Every structure is written in structure tokens, then in C-alpha cells.
């Protein structure tokens, strides 16, 4: 699997549809979600093609808010978190060169959570691969795209509470998970983090996705979410995770360099703890699409991202509504790598 900063052929997304996440009746919450998703797509399409999956009944609503350059693809959807329900694109090495393939992980609604629906979304790995015109490999491992990050040189970040979740992969061991992931992604070294952000374990959380906690910025360097407030429940866990990463060694034998991305100052929404994180950004061709929260930390985060990804435009998009519904900019996007020349 190429790193996210490698050249892309396109970005894939899914358009919010009436459901338990956004409101069944198509009210103001659904409209807010559609505007938030569209804001991200309309930035990315300035840098690379965007392919938006959409329920046929939602096509007219999608055209109202999306840039005309965004391609609409009719697919039956349950939800709109394509990082998680969609496939992972990889390159297949062979004696005659390399070609694109897609890995379809087993998807069961983030561990068969009571609020989730996945009768349609569990097929998206295959359907997106077919729409992209690439071969698909089905994996027996239950996980989501937000549950791992790779550096493109053999290293993968994982979380104990996701891949080893008994509601995802009952009976699987560390060795079982690593063997399956390494065989599918071409990785050789797994760095396990103990947990995710506290709010990610509430009723509508993913139970520890790594893409709000840490990500590779380049080989040998990771960006990690930190919580400066000693009274916040994430303060000590994130300090521990930063230390784990500082002492970790990647697949090339390098000790990791850690860049800290302090959390926004706002810690709750209507009295409920939130997992707002600047780590949950997306890399497109020549751009970093980051999360903004109308927070004093936004400017600081933009500066850190500019340092981490020199030569790329840094564009912050208001992500408060995306996080209100359960994720961030990275959670709603999925890269299709360009075919190597």
C-alpha cells in the first residue's frame, strides 16, 4: 500500500443519505452533513479527481452542493464514512511490473454496533473496486480504513482495541492480525498503540481508530495527537502513546521522529466530550486538507502541517459538523493511488 502522500489517481467519497447518523427524515442535520462533506470534496477537486458515491434518490441534492467537477456514481449506501467501508487500494508487484488492486476488508459496522447499518456498505469494497476497474481481494479480517496508517516502506500503525476487538475479530491474536495485514498491504512491521481517544469509545465511536491519534507524515516521522490539559481524560493516554512512538522502530530500522499536534482547546459539544483532532487530515495531490474548529489552535495546527508536508498547500475546512456525526476529514475520504509510471 502506497503512503497517502504518494500521487493519487482520485479521491473516493460517499454522499450522506438519510439514516440514524444524520436523521431519517432529511432534516437540518442531514443538510449540515451534506454541506460539510461537500466542502471537503470541493477543495480536493481543485487538486485531483473526486468520485462521489451517491444513492440515486440523493443525486439532485448532491448536485446542489457539489462542484460540477465532482463525478457522481450511483451506488446503494447505508452511511457515508468511505474511509471505513470502502476498499484499500494497493499496488500488486509482479514480474512484469505493478498494477492496481483493491483489498475489501470485512465490514460489520464498527464491531456490529447497535446504531450502525451495513447491509449495503459491507459490499462497498467490491463495488468501488469494480467501479475503479481494478481487481479485488477479499480479506477475512474485520477492520476499517481509519483503523490503520502505513508509511509506504513497510510500517503500519494499529490499535489494540480495533483489530483485536472481540466484536470485530473474535479469537484473533496479534500474530494473526499482523500476518493478514502484512500479506494484504506489503508491510512487515506493525506498531501497536494501546487505545484511541476517550470520546471514540462512546455510543457512536469507532472504539479506537488510529487516524485521530497518529499518522505518518513521511518515512520515519509521525504526527501524534496530544492533550495539554492535565485534567482531560486523554492527557495521560496520549502522553503514553507519544512515548511509545518515540521509542518505536520502523521497518527500515529508524527510530521514529514525533511531531506533536496539540488538540483544539474546545473539549466538549453540548456538554459531551468530543474527539476533535487535527491528526485527522487528508493528503491530496499537492494539498493537505485539514480540520478547523473555529478554535485558537487552528492556526498552530496549520503551521505544524505546513512544516510536516513542505511544498503542499494547507487548506483547513470546518470539520465541526463532520466530527459531530462521528468522524473527520480523513474518515470521509479514501485515496486511489496513481499507477506507477
CA 273 to the chain's CA centroid: 20
Q: What are phi and psi of 177, to 5 degrees?
A: -65, -50
Sheet with 71-74, side-by-side order of all strands: 71-74, 50-54, 8-14, 334-337
62, 15 Cβ separation under 8 angstroms:
yes
Q: Establish if 178 belongs to a structural domain.
A: yes
| Residue 32, SS3 per DSSP | helix
Annotated catalytic residue 218 = no
CA 66 to the chain's CA centroid: 21
Task: Write the pLDDT tens digit of every residue in 88-111.
Answer: 999 987 544 467 899 999 999 999
Q: Establish if 61 belongs to a structural domain.
A: yes
According to the model, what pLDDT value does residue 272 have? 84
According to the model, what pLDDT value does residue 23 have? 76
99, 90 Cβ separation under 8 angstroms:
no
Give dist(CA 236, CA 129) in Å, integer: 40
Q: Establish if 1 belongs to a structural domain.
A: no
The residue among 243, 254, 224, 250 whose CA lies nearest residue 156 is 250
List per-residue pLDDT tens for the chain, 341 residues long. 999 999 999 999 999 999 988 877 778 999 999 999 999 999 999 999 999 999 999 999 999 999 999 999 999 999 999 999 999 999 987 544 467 899 999 999 999 999 999 999 999 999 999 999 999 999 999 999 999 999 999 999 999 999 999 999 999 999 999 999 999 999 999 999 999 999 999 988 999 999 999 999 999 999 999 999 999 999 999 999 999 999 999 999 999 999 999 999 987 877 788 899 999 999 999 999 999 999 999 999 999 999 999 999 999 999 999 999 999 999 999 999 998 87
291, 276 Cβ separation under 8 angstroms:
yes
3-state secondary structure 268-336: EECCEECCCCCCCCEEECCEEEEEECCCCHHHHHHHHHHHHCCCCEEEEEECHHHHHCCCCCHHHCEEE
User: From the candidates 245, 301, 331, 332, which is the catalytic residue?
Assistant: 331
According to the model, what pLDDT value does residue 266 have? 86
CA 158 to the chain's CA centroid: 13
What cell numbers appear for 12 in the block?
A: 473516493
Q: Establish if 233 belongs to a structural domain.
A: yes
* Pairing mode, strands 88-94 and 97-106: antiparallel
219, 254 Cβ separation under 8 angstroms:
yes
3-state secondary structure 85-147: HCCEEEEEEECCEEEEEEEEEECCHHHHCCCCCCCCHHHHHHHHHHHHCCEEEEEEEECCHHH
* Pairing mode, strands 257-262 and 221-226: parallel
302, 290 Cβ separation under 8 angstroms:
yes
Q: Establish if 120 belongs to a structural domain.
A: yes
* Pairing mode, strands 149-150 and 155-159: antiparallel
Whole-model pTM: value is 0.96
Give dist(CA 341, CA 40) in Å, integer: 28
Q: Establish if 3 belongs to a structural domain.
A: no
CATH code for position 185: 3.75.10.10
Give dist(CA 278, CA 263) in Å, integer: 7
What's the number of domains the chain is made of? 1
Residue 297's domain comprises: 8-337
Half-sphere exposure in the Cβ direction for 204 (13 Å, CA): 15
Give dist(CA 262, CA 234) in Å, integer: 11
Q: Establish if 2 belongs to a structural domain.
A: no
Q: Give just the sign of the alpha carbon dihedral 316, 43, 19, 149.
A: negative
What one-character DSSP code corresponds to residue 57? G
Q: Establish if 323 belongs to a structural domain.
A: yes
Amino acid at each position: 500500500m502506497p503512503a497517502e502522500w504518494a500521487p493519487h489517481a482520485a479521491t473516493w467519497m460517499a454522499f450522506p443519505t438519510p439514516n440514524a447518523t444524520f436523521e431519517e427524515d432529511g432534516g437540518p442535520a442531514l443538510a449540515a452533513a451534506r454541506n460539510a462533506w461537500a466542502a471537503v470534496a470541493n477543495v480536493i477537486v481543485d487538486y485531483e479527481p473526486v468520485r462521489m458515491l451517491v444513492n440515486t434518490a440523493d443525486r439532485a441534492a448532491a448536485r446542489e452542493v457539489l462542484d460540477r467537477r465532482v463525478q457522481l456514481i450511483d451506488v446503494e449506501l447505508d452511511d457515508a464514512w468511505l474511509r471505513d467501508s470502502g476498499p484499500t487500494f494497493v499496488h500488486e508487484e509482479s514480474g512484469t511490473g505493478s498494477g492496481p488492486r483493491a483489498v475489501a476488508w470485512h465490514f460489520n459496522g464498527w464491531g456490529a454496533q447497535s446504531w450502525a447499518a451495513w447491509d449495503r456498505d459491507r459490499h462497498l469494497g467490491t463495488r468501488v473496486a469494480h467501479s475503479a476497474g481494478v481487481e479485488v481481494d477479499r480479506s477475512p479480517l474485520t477492520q476499517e480504513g481509519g483503523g490503520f496508517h502505513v508509511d509506504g516502506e513497510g510500517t503500519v500503525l494499529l490499535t489494540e482495541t480495533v483489530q483485536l476487538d472481540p466484536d470485530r475479530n473474535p479469537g484473533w491474536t496479534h500474530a494473526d492480525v499482523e500476518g493478514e495485514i502484512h500479506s494484504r498491504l506489503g508491510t512487515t512491521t506493525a506498531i501497536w498503540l494501546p487505545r484511541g481517544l476517550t470520546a471514540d469509545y462512546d455510543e457512536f465511536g469507532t472504539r479506537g481508530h488510529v487516524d485521530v491519534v497518529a499518522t505518518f507524515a513521511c518515512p520515519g516521522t509521525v504526527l501524534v495527537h496530544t492533550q495539554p490539559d492535565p485534567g482531560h481524560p486523554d492527557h495521560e493516554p496520549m502522553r503514553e502513546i507519544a512515548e511509545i512512538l518515540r521509542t518505536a522502530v520502523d521497518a527500515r530500522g529508524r527510530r521514529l521522529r514525533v511531531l506533536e499536534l496539540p488538540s483544539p482547546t474546545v473539549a466538549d459539544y453540548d456538554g459531551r466530550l468530543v474527539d476533535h483532532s487535527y491528526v485527522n487530515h487528508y493528503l491530496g495531490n499537492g494539498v493537505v486538507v485539514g480540520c478547523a474548529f473555529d478554535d485558537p489552535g487552528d492556526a498552530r495546527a496549520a503551521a505544524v502541517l505546513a512544516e510536516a508536508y513542505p511544498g503542499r498547500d494547507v487548506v483547513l475546512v470546518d470539520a465541526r459538523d463532520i466530527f459531530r456525526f462521528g468522524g473527520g476529514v480523513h474518515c470521509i475520504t479514501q485515496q486511489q493511488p496513481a499507477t506507477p509510471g
